[in-house]
Amino acid sequence: MKIKYDADIDAIYVIMSDDKIIESEESSKDVIVDYNKNDEVVAIEVLNVKDNNHTIDLPIVLKSA
């Protein structure tokens, strides 16, 4: 797992796999989940980190895959 912060766009990117991203969806405001060809979570991106308080229920995000 890798976690990256991009100060230019104020986003945190959690990479769980190097699989190719096939689909992305906004699971909640400013939270984007990326999926591979098997509909498994590859990465999670959180936007506007400094501007908002984000609560991400990771088990629910992972089960939604």
Chain segment 7-29, per-residue pLDDT in tens: 999 999 999 999 999 999 988 88
**Average predicted confidence (pLDDT) for the chain:** 84
Q: What is the 3-state secondary structure (H, E, C) of 25-46?
A: EEEECCEEEEECCCCCEEEEEE
Among 2-6, 16-20, 32-36, 54-58, which is the least confidently predicted range? 54-58
Residue 65: pLDDT band by 50, 70, 90 thresholds?
very low
Chain segment 35-55, per-residue pLDDT in tens: 999 999 999 998 988 877 666
Measure the CA–CA gap between 40 and 65, rounded to whole angstroms.
5
Of all helices (H) and strands (E), which one includes residue 62?
A: helix 58-63
**Ranges of each domain in the chain:** 2-63
